[in-house]
Amino acid sequence: MSKIGTSIETAASILRNDGLVGIPTETVYGLAGNGLNTHAVLKIFSAKKRPSFDPLILHSSKDKIFNWVSHVPEQAQLLADKFWPGPLTLVLPKANIVPFETTSGLDTVGVRVPRHSMTLELLSALDFPLAAPSANPFSYISPTTAQHVIDQLGHEVDYILDGGSCNVGIESTIVGFENDRPVIYRLGGLSVDDIEKVIGKVEVQINYTSNPKSPGMAKVHYAPKKPLLLVDDFSEIIDDANTAYILFNERIVVDEKRQFFLSQSENYFEAAAQLYALLRYLDNSDFLKIVVKRLPEVSLGKAINDRLYRAAIK
């Protein structure tokens, strides 16, 4: 079983020797390895049981992140200047040094600068980027605490940096460029509105197939083991005592012990930060089924609904 700690030096030493470390970010915890080392990258895929067609995101410090790409469109630079460090991944043409295995054979690579002081310190100490998908078995709920990582990958990771709970709680928004035109491939912790305030109108091109263009876009993802039903209205379902309800801010006429709130103050950022921890709690509870109502499609509601939709697919 791996150790949980706060030693940047220990984490850096393990990573320099091709080991795996659980790292905190503002979005979710990542399973990190040397993104330029094929052996370390293959260990990440094996530990997560992640299919080889699902590419990884490279994480680095702001002064080094573009070392791993060959071209930066003007709008990509604007987004980087505005939102890094932060929950934004840019998909750009890869540099030749980035191995085939990291990008799953694609000629592009996702890059990001996470907003977490501990991980930024670690990245500054390394002369290579970290490939760091979420630190969970493939398709399961992403981890938002160090304990989540050890609970599910404790025997696969050499060390876990404990940086507390993730304050964004859902993965980064992924923006790519087709003929230098921006396209959102994954909704996430940075809203579409915020992006469009910087670079203007952006096409949203969400993938729901088993052949993703970018990381984290597999059709079935973020899913509890228990059945999860996503509805537009609670009147659509037949209630029973074994059903738990995830609510945004409304109450319904069932036992209060079966009602669990993402945000009673209708705060979308609070809802995103609570989502995965609440799904994990209910997945480990005595309830047999989870029912969730779609959130309004504003702010981070779109990204939360995307995660719920993927979690509900069976």
Domain of residue 255, CATH code: 3.40.50.11030
Average pLDDT, the chain: 93
Report yes or no on 215 lying in a domain.
no
147 and 235 in a common domain: no
24 or 214, higher pLDDT? 24
Question: For a pLDDT cut of 70, what percent of the chain falls above it?
Answer: 95
Q: Read off the pLDDT band of 250 (50, 70, 90).
A: confident
Per-residue pLDDT at 216 exceeds 60: no
How far apart CA 141 and CA 283 sit, in angstroms, is 10
159 and 93 in a common domain: yes
Per-residue pLDDT at 22 exceeds 80: yes
Report yes or no on 209 lying in a domain.
no
Reported as a single tens digit per residue, the pLDDT across 45-56 is 999 999 988 999
Domain assignment of residue 66, given as a range: 3-204
250 and 160 in a common domain: no
Q: Read off the pLDDT band of 313 (50, 70, 90).
A: confident
**Based on the structure, what is the number of domains in the chain?**
2
197 and 147 in a common domain: yes
Nearest alpha-carbon partner for 110 in 230, 214, 249: 214
Per-residue pLDDT at 26 exceeds 90: yes
Q: In Å, what is the CA distance from 295 to each residue of 3, 183, 232, 253, 257?
A: 38, 23, 9, 19, 21
User: Which helix or strand (DSSP H or E) is residue 194 part of?
Assistant: helix 192-199
Q: Which residues contact 13 (CB under 8 A, 6 or more apart)?
A: none
Report yes or no on 58 lying in a domain.
yes
Per-residue pLDDT at 215 exceeds 90: no
Report yes or no on 279 lying in a domain.
yes
178 and 258 in a common domain: no
pLDDT score for 133: 96
Please answer whether residues 156 and 53 qualify as being in contact, where contact means their C-beta atoms are separated by less than 8 angstroms: no
Report yes or no on 66 lying in a domain.
yes
- Mean pLDDT, range 188-195, rounded to an integer: 97
How far apart CA 291 and CA 8 sit, in angstroms, is 41
**Which of 139, 170, 204 marks a domain boundary?**
204
Report yes or no on 214 lying in a domain.
no
pTM of the predicted protein model: 0.93
101 and 238 in a common domain: no
Please answer whether residues 11 and 23 qualify as being in contact, where contact means their C-beta atoms are separated by less than 8 angstroms: yes
